């Protein structure tokens, strides 16, 4: 069948099961958008206000559903506006396919209008990228792109298509979908035997679980594995929601803003079992901090082994496969003394509303926890509010906490919320924002309203760039350089201007009513939740310090 490149593209996307695309049209992709118009009964296109939000929406869609997210932009600035979203997906190993238009082949390399070498620009932040030079290659490239985005360690793939390729005609035919082999894990038997021996010999095992657990859909296996060896479990930010928050073995988040139990356990264990995590500098990056433990690292990406921390034993492979291989053959353990010690340092969550005289993050998330019936998805921007959400919100279902971990992208949350809500229409999506981050993407409220998405955005409004201000207080003697915003923005009026409902909460007595109104509403809602600018995120570990050297709020109050 002879079709234009644009037709081949759209049909190929349908073949890959794509139902939604997030994007923004322009001259170089007009042929593609003309075909999208013809196929609008099969592919839902969400027009964002800015291409960066299209990339974040594709990312959020993928994180919430486990599918590949797809975004599209025109050449030049349209393509470069995708870059931050692509980098965000790359750092967090999220499978998206980004499609960009470009000038016709004859104009490439001539500084033509709206021409940019997007393939060169994105080479360091994609698993792979393509410039389509022949329409006959387009169908194969699309199929390969979806395969590469998902196989092994997931990540973004970019396809750059010159405009004449979308107009030229080529043969469209049935192609066999390549099965994801996960490298068919020719698992190293010696490595497996060695890991088993380390686990069986350990008296104080401790699990540090990362985003690989989510990517490999290995939550059930992680629970079974942890219960069999009775090992406490900590999670990275990327693994939040992948282990039950109320499980007796769960110690909470690990790292700079991790719990005391997680951070101390990492330094007291005799075996650190790292699953699908990369030893980020915000978690554990100094070998000396965990020098008393043997370290096992299981990851699908061989490049991560011994990159940041030298390990004693490792297995390269898909976590679901590896854990299913280990569970039947490892010894069952009790570890009573070790678990008793962990329980003794766990900080019990005991929040009493009557003890709270002002609006605080704890109060907000306690209310949300009480209202959550297991149907909530949380997206976050980046900053103090992000850490408070990770610390205080009790995720009751998998893939329910979406946050920019590796890149720390302010402006991520609202775009991601759009993607999550489109991908999970029966869930209630909350975007947790700070007033600083919200200013970077508030225009996407127009997208939310236009598409009648019942997203609730909650701005923890402290009139400052809170996380940077916190560092300035702790490490720069309180020199608050450009972190006090002093903006006169009325977020309630702003929400109403976009067509959303707006509420402001400045008193405790208002909160229940506002949250109930927001949750019962079928339309977009924004809540301006006003908090003190001096509220800090604790516990905290100073950059470069051992993770068990924990700064608490009491430490600050006592200098």
Q: Please spell the DSSP secondary structure of 444-471, one letter per residue.
A: GHHHHHHTT---EEEEEE-SB-HHHHHH
| 430 in active site | no
In terms of domains, do 286 and 402 share one? no
Under 8 Å between Cβ of 46 and 22: yes
Domain boundaries, position 312 = 183-345
pLDDT value of position 192: 96
In terms of domains, do 243 and 154 share one? no
In terms of domains, do 28 and 82 share one? yes
Structural tokens at position 238? 């990327």
In terms of domains, do 156 and 16 share one? yes
Q: What confidence tens digit (pLDDT) does each residue in 16-49 have?
A: 999 999 999 999 999 999 999 999 999 999 999 9
pLDDT value of position 186: 72
If one counts the domains in the chain, the total is 3
In terms of domains, do 110 and 251 share one? no
pLDDT(551) > 80: yes
Q: What is the mean pLDDT of residues 218-247?
A: 97
Q: What is the mean pLDDT of residues 100-114?
A: 92
What is the C-alpha separation between 503 and 470, in angstroms, rounded? 27
In terms of domains, do 157 and 203 share one? no
What is the biggest distance separating any 2 CA atoms in the chain, rounded to whole angstroms? 76
Between strands 550-551 and 540-541, the pairing is antiparallel
Strand, coil or helix: what is 421? helix
The structure's pTM equals 0.95
Q: What is the mean pLDDT of residues 490-518?
A: 97
| 421 in active site | no
Q: What is the mean pLDDT of residues 47-55?
A: 98
Q: Which of 91, 253, 387, 467 is catalytic?
A: 467
Between strands 501-505 and 401-402, the pairing is unpaired
In terms of domains, do 395 and 326 share one? no
pLDDT value of position 291: 81
CA-to-CA separations, 35 to 29, 130, 246, in angstroms, rounded:
10, 21, 49
Q: Which of 16, 51, 221, 362 is catalytic?
A: 51
pLDDT value of position 187: 85
Structural tokens at position 74? 């025109």
In terms of domains, do 29 and 148 share one? yes
| 549 in active site | no
| 467 in active site | yes
* Ordered DSSP codes for 35-102: HHHHTTTT-EEEE-SSHHHHHHHHHHHHHHHSSPEEEEE-STHHHHTTHHHHHHHHHTT--EEEEEEE
In terms of domains, do 16 and 156 share one? yes
pLDDT value of position 347: 80
Q: In this structure, what CATH number is given to the domain that contains residue 90?
A: 3.40.50.970
Q: What is the mean pLDDT of residues 65-88?
A: 98
In terms of domains, do 374 and 301 share one? no
pLDDT(303) > 80: yes
In terms of domains, do 173 and 189 share one? no
Final residue in a domain of this structure, among 326, 345, 364: 345
Final residue in a domain of this structure, among 152, 180, 208: 180
Final residue in a domain of this structure, among 345, 371, 400: 345
Comparing 186-195, 350-359, 401-410, 464-473, the range with the smallest average pLDDT is 350-359
- Report residue 138's pLDDT band, with 50, 70 and 90 as the boundaries: very high
Structural tokens at position 547? 């993770």
pLDDT(265) > 90: yes
| 163 in active site | yes
Q: In this structure, what CATH number is given to the domain that contains residue 188?
A: 3.40.50.1220
Choose among 462, 475, 458: nearest CA to 384.
462
Give every CB contact of residue 365 below 8 A, 6+ residues apart in sequence: 388, 389, 392, 393
Cis amide prior to 321 (ω within 30 degrees): no
Q: What confidence tens digit (pLDDT) does each residue in 328-387 have?
A: 999 999 999 999 999 999 987 666 666 677 899 999 999 999 999 999 999 999 999 999
Q: Which of 67, 127, 163, 320 is catalytic?
A: 163
In terms of domains, do 331 and 380 share one? no
């Amino acid at each position: 069948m002879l079709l234009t490149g644009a037709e081949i593209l759209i049909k190929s996307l349908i073949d890959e099961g794509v139902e939604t695309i997030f994007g923004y049209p322009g001259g170089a992709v007009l042929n593609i958008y003309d075909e999208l118009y013809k196929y609008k009964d099969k592919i839902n296109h969400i027009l964002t206000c800015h291409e960066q939000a299209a990339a974040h929406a594709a990312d959020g869609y993928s994180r919430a559903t486990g599918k590949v997210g797809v975004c599209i932009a025109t050449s030049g600035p349209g393509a470069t506006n995708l870059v931050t979203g692509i980098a965000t997906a790359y750092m967090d190993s999220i499978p998206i396919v980004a499609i960009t238009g470009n000038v016709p082949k004859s104009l490439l390399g001539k500084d033509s209008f709206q021409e940019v070498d997007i393939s060169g620009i994105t080479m360091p932040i994609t698993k792979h990228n393509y410039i389509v030079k022949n329409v006959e290659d387009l169908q194969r490239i699309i199929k390969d792109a979806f395969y590469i985005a998902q196989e092994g360690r997931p990540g973004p793939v970019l396809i750059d298509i010159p405009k004449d390729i979308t107009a030229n005609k080529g043969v469209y035919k049935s192609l066999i979908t390549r099965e994801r082999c996960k490298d068919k894990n020719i698992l190293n038997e010696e490595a497996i035997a060695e890991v088993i021996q380390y686990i069986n010999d350990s008296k104080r095992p401790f699990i540090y679980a990362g985003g690989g657990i989510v990517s490999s859909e290995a939550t059930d296996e992680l629970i079974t594995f942890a219960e069999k060896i009775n090992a406490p479990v900590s999670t990275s930010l990327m693994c939040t929601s992948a282990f039950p928050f109320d499980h007796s073995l769960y110690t909470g988040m690990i790292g700079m803003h991790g719990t005391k139990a997680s951070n101390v356990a990492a330094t007291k264990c005799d075996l650190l079992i790292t699953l699908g995590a990369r030893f980020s500098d915000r978690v554990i990056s100094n070998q000396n901090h965990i020098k008393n433990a043997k370290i096992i690292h299981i990851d699908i990406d061989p490049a991560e082994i011994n990159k940041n921390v030298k390990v004693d034993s490792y297995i390269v492979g898909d976590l679901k496969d590896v854990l299913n291989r280990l569970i039947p053959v490892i010894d069952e353990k009790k570890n009573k003394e070790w678990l008793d010690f962990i329980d003794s340092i766990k900080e019990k969550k005991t929040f009493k509303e009557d003890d709270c005289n002002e609006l605080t993050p704890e109060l907000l998330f306690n209310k949300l926890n009480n209202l959550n019936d297991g149907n909530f998805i949380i997206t976050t921007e980046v900053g103090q509010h992000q850490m408070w959400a990770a610390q205080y919100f009790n995720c009751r279902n998998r893939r329910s906490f979406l946050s920019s971990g590796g890149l720390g992208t302010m402006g991520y949350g609202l775009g991601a919320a759009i993607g999550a809500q489109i991908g999970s229409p029966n869930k209630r999506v909350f975007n947790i924002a700070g007033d600083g981050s919200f200013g970077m993407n508030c225009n996407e409220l127009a997208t939310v309203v236009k598409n009648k998405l019942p997203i609730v955005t909650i701005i923890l409004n402290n009139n400052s760039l809170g996380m940077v201000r916190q560092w300035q207080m702790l490490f720069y003697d309180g020199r608050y350089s450009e972190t006090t915003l002093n903006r006169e923005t009325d977020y309630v009026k702003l929400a109403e201007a976009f067509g959303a409902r707006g509420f402001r909460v400045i008193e405790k007595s208002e909160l229940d009513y506002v949250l109930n109104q927001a949750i019962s509403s079928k339309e977009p809602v924004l809540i301006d939740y006003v908090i003190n600018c001096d509220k800090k995120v604790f516990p905290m570990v100073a950059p470069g310090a051992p993770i068990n050297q924990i700064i608490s709020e009491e430490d600050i109050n006592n200098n």
